[in-house]
Structure 1
Amino acid sequence: MFSGSRFLVTRSLPLVKMSGHTPSVMRLEQRAAEADHIIDYLKQQVQLLKEKAMREVAMPTAGDSSVQCASKSTPPQPTSPARSSTSPVATASPPPKNSEGKKNKPEKREKGEKKPAAPQEEAKVDVSRLDMRVGRIVTAEKHPDADSLYVEQVDVGEAAPRTVVSGLVKHIPIDQMQNRMAVLLCNLKPAKMRGVVSQAMVMCASSPDKVEILDPPSGAVPGDRVIFQGFPGEPDKELNPKKKVWEAVQPDLKTDGQCVANYKGAPFEIAGKGVCKAQTMSNSGIK
């Protein structure tokens, strides 16, 4: 018991001392109060941060809700734009096709317009397309591989004579072929005759039984151009065999009653010098 009382006494003494207003106790109480203020301040700051965080979180959620609202409102819209987008495509695709079709049609028309132009050119085929000139047969000899052909060297006013192959052996003696004047068609396409290329054709009055070389007028010289009144124009550089200009013109080349060579009534004329004639053959074809 004694020891226990002593224990009680010793326990009560510190309590009495702590309850006193000593400087150390006052400092502790002051620090405790400051700590309480700090804790309250920190709690306030934490509460503010929480509220701020809640507000920041609340803003995207509102955006999400608006997006969701928009998405809810948009489902009908995709269908309508889809329809509107498909409809322009449907309407846009035909126009190019139509426009291309329209462009193609004019091209076809242009080609069609060019085709009629060809017949017009063919309609204008006349003797002016032929390059007929006065020439001088310098030499003539028989073709080495054809008994009915002559091979002639003819001066037609160019730098060198032209080689001409003519089937005149049966109609004109070789001595009458030498150094004589003639009329030559000079723009036929060169053609090989029994291995020799002929570059022109001697123009002759012709019938089944007789052939005569056309004579130019007195005073004509090699290279003089044969002209036809009423048929102006420059001759082709070279007649295209496919166009058959010569074949179209030749039937109208004839001698008249006075043996004058003419085309549809227009005489073969050398300007200022006269007309071309056959010696005796009147009303005969010319080729």
Structure 2
Amino acid sequence: MFRATCRFAVSLTRDQLRKSLKMADLQKIVENNQRAQGLIDSIQQEMVAIENELVQRKKEELIKENAFLTKEIEKALAQLVALEISNGKKQIPVPGNRGMCTQTEATSTAAAPTTKESKDPAPVSAPKEKKVKEKKPPAEKAKAVAEAPVDVGRLDLRVGKIIEVGRHPDADSLYLEKIDCGEPAPRTVVSGLVKYVPLEEMQNRLVVVLCNLKPAKMRGVTSEAMVMCASTPDKVEVLSPPAGAVPGDLVHCEGYERKPDTQLNPKKKVFETCAPDLMTNADLVACYKGAPLHVPGKGTIVAQSLKNVQVK
């Protein structure tokens, strides 16, 4: 009996202890919640104070800027008046107006005096004879200049030298090149030749470059020209200028006057129209409609092995 009583007492003590612990935990949670809410309220008050301070600071800046602009306008007005006076225009103060008006403006706006006592009309001066201006015949409209024919002569093909080449940082299939085209600065060119031409064959070689394409971004890098190649679906060869050619040499085509556009308009598709007729012939010479591309006095543009294929 005593043991049972003891067990009951122990069990009761444990239950009370658990309840008191739960109450203590709950009290801590409530206190933590109150502290967190107080912190949130404090932060919100600080944010409101900072926002009000920023608004007030901006307001003061705008007031200062407005005062500065007002002074500048007044200075400009004073300069204008001084210029008019120096040019012989008398300044007449206008009641209720901040500035002055010129004598010509005052005389044009002043009304003739009229009173109730004056009954006789003012004498009317004889109307001045108006000078009749002779109408000049309308100028003839300028005739629209006929657009140049779409042919290879509108392509700005030049000899260039690759002075720096590497893989594009964001595209495994692209080379990133610096090409000297005989200009003050080299051109940046992006070419999709990684699969066809080894890197060592691209370094320090002469190439033919189309220079008047509209610059276009390729994977984040702006390409300013295009390296011309003989091409099939399976093989691509970079075209080679003749021996003795140097960067900046102009490429001509027999039978077509070289008058390249400053920049080809993509909407007019000049290059796209010429491209089907740009091919190598049986002698590996790059041609347009069968006419060889060449550097005058130095020789023709050639491929290494690809005959009768597209040039692009």
TM-score by length of 2: 0.54
Of structures 1 and 2, the larger Rg is shown by 1
CA drift of 1:230 comes to 0.9
Equivalent residue in structure 2 for 1:121, among 144, 147, 154? 147
2:271 alignment partner, SS class: helix
Amino acid at match of 1:230: G
- The secondary structure found in structure 1 opposite 2:193 is coil
Q: Which residue pairs with 1:144 in the alignment? A: 169
CA distance in 2, matches of 1:230, 1:177: 32
- Which of 142, 148, 155 is equivalent to 2:180? 155
Which AA in structure 2 matches 1:156? C
Q: By how many angstroms is 1:223 displaced?
A: 0.3
Q: Distance in 2 between matches of 1:126 and 1:215?
A: 22
Displacement of 1:233 in angstroms is 3.4
- Residue identity opposite 2:285 in structure 1: V
- Percent identity reads 60
Q: Is 1:242 matched with 2:267?
A: yes
Q: Distance in 1 between matches of 2:160 and 2:258?
A: 21
**Distance in 1 (alpha carbons) for counterparts of 2:257 and 2:202:** 32
- The answer to whether structure 1 residue 181 and structure 2 residue 226 are counterparts is no
Amino acid at match of 1:157: G
Compute the displacement of 1:121 (Å). Answer: 2.9
Once the two structures are superposed, residues 184-242 of structure 1 have per-residue CA deviations (whole angstroms, 9 ceiling, x without a partner) of 00000000000000000000000000000000000000000000111013211110111
CA distance in 1, matches of 2:254, 2:205: 26
Q: Does 1:134 align with 2:159?
A: yes
Alignment partner of 2:244: what SS?
coil
Letter of the aligned partner of 1:247 in structure 2?
Answer: E
Quick one: which amino acid aligns to residue 121 of structure 1?
E
1:216 aligns with 2:241: yes
Which one-letter code corresponds to 2:176 in the other structure? V
Q: Could you tell me which of 239, 248, 251 is aligned with 1:226?
A: 251
Equivalent AA in structure 2 for residue 241 of structure 1: P
- What residue in structure 1 maps to residue 298 of structure 2? 273
1:257 alignment partner in structure 2: 282
Q: Can you give the 5+ residue segments of structure 2 that lack an aligned partner in the other structure?
A: 1-137
The CA deviation string for residues 75-130 of structure 1, in whole angstroms up to 9 with x for no partner, is xxxxxxxxxxxxxxxxxxxxxxxxxxxx9xxx9xx89x85xx7xx637x1100000
CA RMSD in angstroms, aligned pairs only: 1.9
Q: Report how many aligned residue pairs link the two structures.
A: 175
Q: Distance in 1 between matches of 2:151 and 2:259?
A: 11
Please tell me the residue identity of whatever aligns with 1:245.
V
Residue ranges of structure 1 left out of the alignment (5+ in a row): 1-102
Q: Is the 2:252–2:258 Cα contact (8 Å) retained in structure 1?
A: no
Q: CA deviation at 1:273?
A: 0.2
In structure 2, distance between residues paired with 1:277 and 1:246 = 20
Give the 4+ runs in structure 1 shifted more than 3 A: none
In 1, the alpha carbon distance for the partners of 2:147 and 2:211 equals: 21
Q: Is the 8 A contact 2:162 2:203 kept in 1?
A: yes
Counterpart Cα distance in 2 of 1:226 and 1:245: 17
Determine which structure has greater relative contact order: mean sequence separation of CA pairs < 8 Å that are 6+ residues apart, divided by chain length.
1
Residues 50-69 of structure 1: pairs in structure 2 closer than 5 A: none
Aligned counterparts of 1:228 and 1:141: Cα–Cα separation in 2: 32
Q: Equivalent residue for 2:61? A: none
User: Superposition pairs for residues 29-108 of structure 1, below 5 Å?
Assistant: none
Partner of 1:34: none
- CA distance in 1 between counterparts of 2:179 and 2:284 reads 24
Tell me the equivalent position of 1:65.
none
Residue 171 of structure 2 aligns with an amino acid whose one-letter code is A
The answer to which structure has the higher helix fraction is 1
1:269 and 1:282 map into 2 onto residues whose CA distance is 17
